[in-house]
Amino acid sequence: MAQQTPKNPEKHCTYVPKQKKSTKPYHNTPMLNELEKGPWPSFVHGLKRLAAENNMMVDLMGQLEHSYKTRLGYWKGGTVSVFGYGGGIIPRFTELMGSDGKAMFPESKEFHTLRVQPPAGNHYTTAMLRQLSNSWNKYGSGLIAFHGQTGNIMFIGTTTKNTQHFFDEINEYGFDLGGAGPCVRTSMSCVGSARCEQSCANEQKIHRLLVNNFIDDMHRPALPYKFKFKVSGCPNDCMNSIQRSDFSVIGTWRDDMKVDQKEVKAFVAKKGRKYVVDSVISKCPTNALSLNDDDTLSVDNRNCVRCMHCLNVMNKALSPGDDKGVTILIGGKRTLKIGDTMGTVIVPFMKLETEEDYEQLKEMAENVIDFWAENALEHERCGETIDRIGLVNFLEGIGVDVDPNMINNPRVSSYVRTDTWDEEAEKWKERKAAG
C-alpha cells in the first residue's frame, strides 16, 4: 500500500493546505486519518481540504469520526424542499446532542443533500464542472458526489436556507432537481451512440423523452413508491437496468448480426483456433456459432439470443444488425420487501425510428405508471405489484397482449381455470393472422 511521493505536493490528491481559513479548531480524527494512507485517492484528504475552508466541514469531520468510533450513524431526515417542488432534497439533521441538549457538532447540524439530474450520458465540459463546483462552494459544503447510485449528482451538505439559493442559481443555467421519495426518479443512460459501437438505440433521446415526460411525477412525489427508468444501448446492459429499474429499455436488433469474414480470419490468425473455439464458439449460450474449415464463421441467427458475448470478444469482426430497436422489461428492483426481482420482458421488440415510434414508447410508460399508481399498495414497487396480481392481470391493465417471449417456460401447475381457452386461442390466431 505504498504511496508515492508527489512531484508537486500542491498539485496532488493528497494535498492539504497548511493555511486555515475556517475559524473553528479541527477535531481530533485518528480513525479517519488512517484512511489518508494507501495509493487510492482518499476522500479524507478531500474532507480536510474543505475543513480548512469552512466550519461546516470541520464539524462534519467531527461527526464522521464519532461514527467511526461508535460504529453508528447519526443523521435523521425531515422536511426540506425548494419553492414549487415537493422532493429532490434529502434533508439531514444531526442526532448527536450533548448533555446540554445542544448539537455536539453545531456547524453541520443541518447537512442536506440536493439531488440534481446530470446531463444524459454524464457528459460535462470542464467549464460546466467548475461552474457547478463554484455554485456549491458558495452555498454548500463544497462536497459533490459524481454520482449517486440512482444517477444523480449529489451536492452534499448545506443548510435549509441555502438549498433554495443554490437551486435558484443552478436552475438558471439549466439544471433541475432529481427525485426523492415515492416518485419517478432520476434516470441513467449509458455512453451508447456517443462512443460505443454496440449501441442499438438513441439512448440520450429515450432517456430524456421518458424522464422529462414525467417531470411532474418527479418533483411532486405522489406515487405508491419509487419508479425508475434506465436505458442501455445493448444487451451488455451497462446501466444494470434489468436489476435496478422498474422500466428498463435495452437496445437490440432483429435481423442478422453482421459478420466481416475478413476480420474473422484475421482474428483467428492472431488468436489461434483454440482460443476462438474455447473463448467464442463454445461460450455461445445457444450453440449458434460454428467455425468453418476456412476460418470463417457461420451464425445461426434464428437461434442467436443477442447475448453480446461474441460481439464483445470479436469486436471488429462482428456487429449488431441494421434493424435496430429496443426490448422493454418491467419490474426490476432490489430486496425490499418481497425479495429481489429482475425486470421481465413486456415488449420483446419495439422499433424506435420515427417520432410516432417514440410516442408509442412514451404511451407505454404512461400506461404502466397509470396502472401501477392506480393499483399498487402503498410502498409497493411495480415488480411487486406484478408478483401480487400476476403478469396476465398486469398485461391486461396496460393493454399488452401475451407473448411467449415473456416466459422461460409455460406453467407447470395444473391448478388453473381454463374455461375460456377457445376464446383465447382465437385471439392468438387473429393476432398471428394480422401479423
Least distance CB 145 / other proteins (angstroms):
5
Cis geometry, peptide bond prior to residue 337 (ω within 30 degrees of 0): yes
Mark residues 190-229: x for contact with other proteins by CB under 8 A, - for none: xx-xxxxx-x--x-x--xx--xx--xx-xx----------
Would you give the binding string for other proteins spanning residues 1-20, x where CB under 8 A is met?
x--x-xxx--xxxxx-----
- Residue 184 has what DSSP assignment? B
* Contact flag: residue 187 with other proteins (CB under 8 A): yes
Strand, coil or helix: what is 290?
A: strand
User: Among residues 134 and 292, whose Cβ is nearest to other proteins?
Assistant: 134
The answer to the question of residue 392 lying near other proteins (CB under 8 A) is no
Asked if 313 touches other proteins (CB under 8 A), the answer is yes
410 binds other proteins (CB under 8 A): no
Going residue by residue from 228 to 247, which x/- string records binding to other proteins, judged by CB under 8 A? Answer: -------xxxxxxxxxx---
Min. distance of Cβ 313 from other proteins in angstroms?
Answer: 7
Contact between 99 and other proteins by CB under 8 A: the answer reads no
- Residue 342: CB minimum distance to other proteins, A: 6
Considering only 21, 76, 427, 431, the residue that binds other proteins (CB under 8 A) is: 76
Asked if 162 is part of the footprint of other proteins (rule: CB under 8 A), the reply reads no
Q: Which of 62, 87, 142, 320 binds other proteins (CB under 8 A)?
A: 142
Cβ 213 vs Cβ 261: under 8 Å: no
What dihedral angle (degrees, nearest 10) is formed by the CA atoms of 358, 255, 396, 361? -10
75 binds other proteins (CB under 8 A): yes
Interaction residues for other proteins, span 278-307 (CB under 8 A): 278-279, 283-285, 305-307
Confirm if 289 and 299 have CB atoms less than 8 A apart: yes
d(CA 115, CA 429): 50
As a whole number of angstroms, the distance between CA 257 and CA 289 comes to 12
146 contributes a contact to other proteins by CB under 8 A: yes
Residue nearer to other proteins on the CB measure, 306 or 398:
306
Residue 326's contacts (CB-CB under 8 Å, 6 or more residues apart) are 200, 201, 206, 249, 250, 251, 252, 347, 349, 350, 352, 361
Residues 350-379 contacting other proteins, CB under 8 A: 377-379
For the segment 24-53, give every residue that binds other proteins (CB under 8 A).
31-32, 34-35, 37-44, 46-47, 49-50
Q: Is 255 in the site for other proteins (CB under 8 A)?
A: no
The verdict on 123 binding other proteins (CB under 8 A) reads: yes
Cis peptide before 123, with omega less than 30 degrees from 0?
A: no
Size of the chain in residues: 435
Q: Which is nearer to other proteins, 305 or 425 (CB)?
A: 305
Cell 435496430, located at residue: 324
Sort 368 into a burial class: Cβ within 10 Å, 0-12 / 13-18 / 19+: buried
3-class DSSP string for 16-68: CCCCCCCCCCCCCCHHHHHCCCCCCCCHHHHHHHHHCCCHHHHHHHHHHHHHH
